Structure 1
Amino acid sequence: MNTTRRGAPARALAVLAALALLPPPVAAGPNVPPKHITTSANLSFGRFAAAGGGTISVNVNGGRTRTGSVVLLLSSASAARFNIGSNSPGNENRAYILTLPPNGVVALASGSNRMAVNNFLASGPAGGTLPSGTQSVSVGATLQVAPNQPRGNYTGIFQVTLEYQ
């Protein structure tokens, strides 16, 4: 998140990169097809002025809303987007579960300054049946902004777990 202080409010750009995509270990065996998940867009909360604090929520379509005294500045926001598929035959029509981070685990950081990211939500159900090819899943979340949040380049990662059934 890049923030610059001009007058009293802080301006900020927060990007939560979805880089750590670590599927759980899979037992070795011929009946376990490889899992495949790629990131096609990162979660971004856009630019804002912290003012008296509040929250910024990005929905699964990339729309953002605010609560409290946070002021949304002209900028784009985006939901994270993942493509789930198979890099070998065998995953078509398989059931899967997508697990998002629980509250209290993910934070954006700039030096020693932090902002919590909570209330992750995915487009569609947390699981389903994988069609032939790939399926796109969007992920949104809520950023907790403290009053007069210090300026900085705030970044972070979150883990999405894909498990075939």
Structure 2
Amino acid sequence: MGIQGTRIFDRARYILSVAVLAATGAMSPVPAAAANGNAIANAAVVRPNTLIKTDDLDFGTLVSGPTGGTVTVNPVTNARTTGGGVTPVGGGAHRAAFVGTGGRLLIFVSGSTSVTLTRAGGGAAPMTASLVRAATTSGGGVALLGATLLPSGVQTYYIGGTLTVPANQPPGDYSGTFTLTVNYL
């Protein structure tokens, strides 16, 4: 139950890489050919009174500028937005998702309210994300959650949040873990 794949790139390295790729592609002829690809099929089977993580929270690939900023992944809409000196690069950002079922009467949801992301290999200040929970029940739409009681049945829980990115954050992969606790009553 964690965050994986958040990357901060140095703006010059990104621009240089794009320029090299564009120049290389323009200079080499591409012969016509058929191609095959592989994909992964997934399924989640949920037993009563259990919780299964089906996706990690990912803030995506970012460029850190000369001023700090934020990137937000909305737990309800799954949309990513940025502010301040942070520039998003490509897609790939998404909320965390968990599926659970159980409870004879009510379900009480709690867990981490923030997570610290550290750079693989060290050498950079950690970043902190505040977390926000949302859920759907077998009967309807998505709603934001605090420490909330829900009716029993099948639920999908979503975790999003806002990551604070310092100015000129060093490039690298940053990750951290958080918890989601569901008590079935």
TM-score w.r.t. structure 1 length?
Answer: 0.71
Q: 1:116-164 CA distances to partner (integer Å, 9 max, x unpaired)?
A: 0114232324330122xx3211111111100001111111110111112
Structure 1 residue 53 and structure 2 residue 64: aligned?
A: no
2:112 paired residue among 101, 106, 112 = 101
8 Å contact kept, 1:96–1:130: yes
Partner of residue 21, structure 1: none
Structure 1 regions of 5+ residues with no counterpart? 10-33
2:88 paired residue among 72, 77, 82 = 72
Question: Could you say if the C-alpha distance between residues 69 and 3 of structure 1 is closer, same or farther in structure 2, counting changes exceeding 3 Å?
Answer: closer
1:43 paired residue among 57, 63, 78 = 57
Query: Take 1:142 and 1:43, find their aligned partners in 2: how far apart are those partners?
Result: 11
Alignment of 1:152-163 (within 5 A): 152-163=172-183
Query: Take 1:4 and 1:46, find their aligned partners in 2: how far apart are those partners?
Result: 11
Query: Take 2:7 and 2:61, find their aligned partners in 1: how far apart are those partners?
Result: 8
Give the aligned length.
133
Question: Could you say if the C-alpha distance between residues 6 and 49 of structure 1 is closer, same or farther in structure 2, counting changes exceeding 3 Å?
Answer: closer
Q: Secondary structure at the match of 2:167?
A: coil
CA RMSD of aligned residues (A): 2.2
Amino acid at match of 2:112: P
Structure 2 regions of 5+ residues with no counterpart? 1-5, 15-47, 136-142
Q: Secondary structure at the match of 1:7?
A: helix
Q: Which has the larger radius of gyration?
A: 2
8 Å contact kept, 2:106–2:184: yes
TM-score w.r.t. structure 2 length?
Answer: 0.64
8 Å contact kept, 1:59–1:141: yes
Q: Which runs of 4+ in 1 moved over 3 A?
A: none
Query: Take 2:62 and 2:8, find their aligned partners in 1: how far apart are those partners?
Result: 8
Partner of residue 164, structure 1: 184
Identity of aligned residues (%): 27
Query: Take 2:91 and 2:168, find their aligned partners in 1: how far apart are those partners?
Result: 20
Query: Take 2:158 and 2:113, find their aligned partners in 1: how far apart are those partners?
Result: 17
